[in-house]
């Protein structure tokens, strides 16, 4: 017996089922996976591929069991033998990570199948990225790429524009919301600014109605409020702590103007240059500087009555060290990073949710920010932030989602008297805007700029 959907989920499933190409952009926590699976059943689609973050594949297997009325054999694509089984018809649904789908795209050439679902489709935000071209074609129009072999292609995302508002172009182009190439699209709908380190786009307000119409032609987005769901409030605050900032100051002196460029990029969009090695070094130095005081802070809070806490960060090595430090202080803590296999991932979540003795969950924002529920805690602390606010919103929604009964206290930890304070103020504001979004995908764009 399958689980029953909410009325708004039936509406979303019918929306997808009625279109060969469509995007479901519901706010995080509204069950986009269940709606997509129900849409497959409505259209009696049997054979297809789901492309999603690697760690979420197990979630999809579970959701098929819970919500589908059809019998489908589901296989995770871990090796070429798994691919061979699917190609020979020994399995119906192939669950692929974006990395594996990109690698295998050429092997799937010419194989017609019923459906292709892109979960967390904002992973294809860059039209120049290999994964985007392998999935949607070089021009993101579906003329090339894996998508051309599927009868139905649906995209699911709660944060369709995680970095720059122009990142939505691959989705809009593929969904036939615009006939324009990327350059023409940006010039028509955005004002562009180019600096030493980065460029950014700001939507032209006079063109917003036209752009909104382009979105509405292929997408559906509802908020929790639209769905009639009232969650307890979430309070997002920042907290500064001390640390040794000498190495941070030395690095910024070596790159004059970098601090202002980082702040401008995060404020206005255009985050591509933030992947540079020296910026990664800067972020690591900030994390190292505030780690000792942060662990002391959490230790004090836990001793003074805090029940359970979720800690999210960015650097895996730092989170591993933190996990070890908490263990040395006698705390039962679980760790989930990109290095955690799927079995251990499920175990970590289950222990934190069900075992009263397990009081600390430590997660990497990317690896632990999707596909899991951590409502056993009403305290979540962002030790480090992603500089794309959508990633932070995803992480915070692990706690602030259906099943949460308490007011959620969310804290962002920043290093005093450093750029970390400025970045925290900007990113927390943008993250808050995402968590309170209403309306369509274009409203997301309006909130983020």
Long-range Cβ pairs for the range 176-180 (8 Å, 24+): 176/21, 176/217, 176/218, 177/214, 177/215, 177/217, 177/218, 178/214
Determine the Cα–Cα distance for residues 25 and 270; give it in Å rounded to an integer. 22
- 419: closest CA among 218, 303, 248, 239? 248
Residue in this structure with the two tokens 């290093």, named with its chain if needed: 415
Q: In angstroms, rounded to a whole number, what is the distance separating the alpha carbons of residues 255 and 273?
A: 14
Sheet containing 379-382: which strands, arranged edge to edge? 234-241, 408-415, 379-382, 309-313, 358-364, 332-336
Identify the pLDDT of residue 158: 85
Note the pLDDT of residue 436.
61
Q: Are strands 190-194 and 199-203 parallel, antiparallel or unpaired?
A: antiparallel
Q: Which residue reads 């036939």 in tokens? A: 176
Which residue from 387, 391, 398 is spatially nearest to 427, judged by alpha carbons? 387
**CA pair distance 6, 127, nearest whole angstrom:** 35
Report the distance separating Cα 201 and Cα 188, nearest Å.
11
The pLDDT of residue 26 is 92
- pLDDT computed for residue 446 by the predictor: 39
**Digitized pLDDT (tens) for each residue of the chain, 449 residues in all:** 577 899 999 999 999 999 999 999 998 888 999 999 999 999 999 999 999 998 889 889 999 999 999 999 999 999 999 999 999 999 999 999 999 999 999 999 889 999 999 999 999 988 999 999 999 999 999 999 999 999 999 999 987 765 667 788 999 999 999 999 999 998 898 887 665 555 566 778 888 889 889 989 999 999 888 888 888 989 989 999 999 999 999 999 998 888 888 888 787 766 666 667 788 899 999 999 999 999 999 999 999 999 999 999 999 988 999 999 999 999 999 999 999 988 899 999 999 999 999 999 999 999 999 889 999 999 999 999 988 888 898 899 999 988 899 999 999 999 999 999 998 888 888 888 777 633 333 333 333 33
CB 116 within 8 A of CB 47: no
Nearest to 394, CA basis, from 405, 413, 410, 414: 410
Dihedral in degrees, nearest 10, Cα atoms 289, 317, 275, 236: -60
Tokens, residue 276: 């540079």
25, two tokens: 């952009």
Can you tell me the distance from the alpha carbon of 16 to that of 220, in angstroms, rounded to the nearest whole number?
9
CB within 8 Å of 48: residues ≥ 6 apart:
40, 92, 93, 94, 113, 114, 115, 116, 117, 150, 152
Helices (H), 355-416: 365-368, 389-396
H/E segment holding residue 174:
helix 169-174
Domains of the chain, earliest start first: 7-220 (3.40.50.10810), 234-448 (3.40.50.300)
């Amino acid at each position: 017996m399958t689980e029953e959907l909410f009325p708004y989920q039936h509406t979303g499933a019918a929306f997808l089922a009625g279109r060969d190409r469509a995007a479901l952009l519901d706010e995080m926590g509204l069950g986009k996976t269940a709606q997509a699976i129900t849409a497959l059943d409505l259209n009696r689609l049997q054979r297809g591929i789901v492309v999603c973050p690697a760690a979420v594949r197990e979630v999809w297997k579970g959701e098929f069991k819970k919500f589908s009325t059809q019998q489908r054999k589901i296989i995770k694509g871990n090796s070429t033998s798994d691919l061979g089984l699917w190609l020979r018809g020994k399995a119906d649904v192939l669950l692929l990570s974006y990395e594996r789908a990109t690698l295998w795209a050429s092997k799937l050439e010419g194989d017609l199948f019923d459906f292709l679902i892109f979960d967390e489709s904002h992973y294809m935000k860059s039209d120049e990225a290999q994964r985007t071209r392998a999935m949607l074609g070089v021009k993101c129009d579906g003329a090339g790429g894996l998508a051309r072999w599927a009868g139905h292609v649906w995209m699911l995302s709660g944060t369709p524009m995680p970095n720059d508002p122009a990142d939505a172009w691959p989705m809009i182009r593929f969904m036939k919301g615009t006939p324009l190439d990327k350059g023409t699209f940006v010039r028509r709908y955005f004002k562009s600014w180019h600096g030493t380190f980065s460029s950014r786009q700001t939507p032209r307000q006079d063109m917003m109605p036209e752009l909104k119409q382009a979105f509405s032609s292929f997408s559906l987005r509802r908020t929790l409020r639209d769905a009639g769901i009232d969650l307890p409030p979430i309070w997002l605050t920042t907290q500064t702590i001390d640390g040794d900032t000498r190495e941070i100051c030395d690095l910024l002196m070596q790159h004059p103007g970098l601090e202002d460029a980082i702040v401008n990029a995060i404020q206005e969009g255009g985050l591509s240059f933030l992947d540079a090695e020296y910026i990664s070094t800067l972020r690591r130095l900030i994390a190292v500087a505030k780690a000792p005081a942060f662990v002391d802070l959490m230790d004090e809070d836990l001793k003074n009555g805090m029940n359970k806490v979720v800690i999210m960060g960015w650097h895996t090595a730092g989170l591993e060290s933190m996990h070890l430090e908490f263990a040395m202080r006698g705390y039962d803590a679980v760790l989930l990073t990109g290095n955690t296999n799927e079995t251990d991932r499920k175990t970590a979540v289950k222990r934190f949710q069900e075992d009263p003795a397990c009081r600390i969950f430590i997660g990497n924002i990317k690896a632990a920010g999707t596909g899991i529920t951590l409502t056993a805690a009403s305290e979540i602390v962002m030790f480090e932030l992603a500089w794309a606010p959508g990633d932070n919103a995803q992480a915070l929604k692990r706690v602030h989602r259906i099943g949460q009964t308490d007011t959620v206290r969310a804290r962002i930890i920043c290093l005093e008297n450093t750029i970390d304070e400025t970045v925290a103020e900007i990113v927390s504001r943008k993250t808050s805007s995402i968590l309170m979004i209403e309306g369509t995908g274009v409203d997301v764009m309006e909130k983020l700029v």
